[in-house]
Amino acid sequence: MFFRILSIIFPVFAIIAAGWLYARLRRRAGGGIDMAFANQLNMDVFVPALVFAALASKSFDLASYGRLAVAALMLMLASGGIAWSLARLLREQPKTFVPPMMFVNSGNMGLPLMVLAFGDAALPAAVVLFFVENLLHYTLGTWMLDHHARLWTLWRVPVIFAALLALAIKFLDLPLWLPLFTAIKLVGDVAIPLLLFSLGVRLALSRWSDVRLGLIGMVARPVIGMAFAALMAYWLQLDERAAAMLMVFGALPPAVLNYVFAERYQQEPAKVASLVMIGNLGALIFIPLALAMTLP
């Protein structure tokens, strides 16, 4: 079991470590580090292509993932409720602490981890989890930080647009030219390694500004997530693989996007950066634990 888990998590953390090492060496050599264009390209082109290819594939059946989507949604909302109470207990601003406890790294870490752990056939389910998490993050997450945000423009987010387009094609049963689908899938294949590498670069540039809050979040995020994952899987009677994927989803660390949002809305970005950084380091403990609990 140990070597099986190691074989799953090693490629994920090895690519993250490569990004971290690259950034550290560039800084030591006095060179600049600009991942902005690569990250923008990933979020505007590669990840949307990955999402579209997964949801538009012939093997994807939307109805079979409905309960998994509901479970993920309820898990995040429940995690947010517990985190709000914990933030009040810690005398921290809920708008600082709650989003990182709700919105997890379902893209950078979740997508490759799910595929490595459960096989290529798990990619559509992993994309469903990613889509639900992103949809809630861009709606409720944005509203939490800015009550005046214009959510009607959500469809302009490339990932959301790609998902809606793929779902429309499936719903209307429109034919998709196979060479075009193959081209889109090839473009999407770039996304996963680039997501992991850019996460490593981001962690290398983060600061340890609030270790206490980061350590609390490092434990609270996966413990709350896994507890509610088990509850939702039992309540909604998910099948074995869906329940296992939900457990891994619940164990994921805070999404890097939390820091981006905190910086944009000036919501204590230094504290959020620590929650994200230390939480992702804590994944070295909690991801293997979740896999040990779920792998047969």
Tally of domains within the chain: 1
Residue 109 to residue 283: CA distance in whole angstroms: 10
Q: How far is CA 217 from CA 133, 171, 258, in A?
A: 18, 40, 13
Q: Is 93 left (phi over 0), alpha (psi -120 to 50) or beta?
A: beta
The pLDDT value given to residue 4: 78
The pLDDT value given to residue 208: 64
The pLDDT value given to residue 238: 94
Q: Compute CA 26 distance to the chain's CA centroid, rounded to the nearest angstrom.
A: 27
Q: How many CB atoms lie within 10 A of CB 32?
A: 6
pTM over 0.85: no
Residue 162 to residue 52: CA distance in whole angstroms: 5
CATH number for the domain harbouring residue 147? 1.20.1530.20
Give the domain extent around 198.
2-28+36-294
Q: Please give the chain's pLDDT, 296 residues, in tens.
A: 678 788 888 888 898 889 889 988 888 877 777 777 888 888 889 988 988 988 888 767 777 889 999 999 999 999 999 999 999 999 999 999 999 999 998 887 888 899 889 988 888 899 899 989 988 988 888 888 887 767 676 777 888 889 889 888 888 888 889 999 999 999 998 888 888 888 788 778 766 666 788 899 999 999 999 999 999 999 999 999 999 999 999 999 998 888 878 877 888 887 888 898 889 889 989 999 999 999 87
Exposure string for 37-64, b = 16+ CB within 10 A, e = fewer: eebeebbebbbbbbbbbbbbbeebeeee
The pLDDT value given to residue 207: 67
Long-range contacts of 61-69 (CB under 8 A, 24+ apart): 62/167, 62/170, 62/171, 65/124, 65/125, 65/128, 65/242, 67/236, 67/237, 67/238, 67/242, 68/125, 68/128, 68/129, 68/238, 68/242, 68/245, 68/246, 69/128, 69/129, 69/132
Residue 229 to residue 71: CA distance in whole angstroms: 8
Q: What tokens were used for 180?
A: 């075009």
Rg of the chain taking only CA atoms, in angstroms: 18
The pLDDT value given to residue 209: 64
Residue 133 contacts residue 104 (beta carbons within 8 Å):
yes
Among the residues of 137-268, which ranges form H helices?
Answer: 142-145, 158-172, 178-188, 191-205, 211-235, 240-251, 257-264
Q: What tokens were used for 91?
A: 């005398």
